[in-house]
Amino acid sequence: MLPRIKQINHVRLYQSGPGDAARYSRLAAALTRPVRWDLVAKNYDQVIKYATAIRTGTASTEAILSRFTRSASHPAYQAMLEIGRAQRTIFVARYLRDRSLQREIEEGLNVVEAWNGANAIICYGRGGEISTNRREEVEMTALCPRILQAAPVFVNTLMLQDVLADAQWADLLTPADRRGLTSLFWQHVRPYGEVRLNLSARLPIAGPAAPAPRG
């Protein structure tokens, strides 16, 4: 997923070469020093070695980073930082120029935030935090909210289908309105208090016929 950079107006852009400040005079206030490509070239083999280890799974990202945290001045680590600065500069420049990319990032993150926002309702006691190191309990804490989240999404989808099947709404909604529809809403969910289940009743919404509950 593409990131959304906070306070993008304070991000510093690194120059690809010494002449960029004069070439992009309108960006002079945001430009900083050039990328140290000489450092990247000298440590290129080491950087590729670590990147290959991460890609193939022979070493984890955490293990490699923990090795460099003890020696932040390591040349290979400094070369990785320079590559990261260059990549971030390219991404920020593309983001500021491409309006469609801005919309894509915003729409994708809105979906994720809406999905994660359900954790505040489902796991309101601890905010979704995992406070145990037991494998079975960790799996339960991670998997159960997924099921509880998927259930309202399914019900919301059926409710939206009922509304859209109404001819009045079908004529009222424009294509832009339909693109804005989502089943990730939780305002009608009551997270607190006592909930009594009636297994002999069904919600008055359309959907596949379900078998009658067992006595």
pLDDT at 135 (0 to 100): 79
Q: Which residues of the chain have pLDDT under 70?
A: 1-2, 70-71, 119-120, 124-132, 206-215
pLDDT at 210 (0 to 100): 46
Q: What is the spatial distance between Cα 73 and Cα 67, in angstroms, rounded to a whole number?
A: 12
Q: What is the spatial distance between Cα 28 and Cα 20, in angstroms, rounded to a whole number?
A: 9
Q: What is the spatial distance between Cα 106 and Cα 180, in angstroms, rounded to a whole number?
A: 13
Those residues with Cβ within 8 angstroms of residue 70's Cβ, 6 or more apart along the chain or in another chain = none
pLDDT at 177 (0 to 100): 79
CB 195 within 8 A of CB 121: no
CA-nearest of 86, 81, 84 to 69 is 81
Q: The whole model's pTM is what?
A: 0.57
CA distances (Å), origin 211, targets 19, 66, 121, 199: 72, 54, 29, 11
Phi, psi of 210 (to 5 degrees): -105, 145
pLDDT at 54 (0 to 100): 86
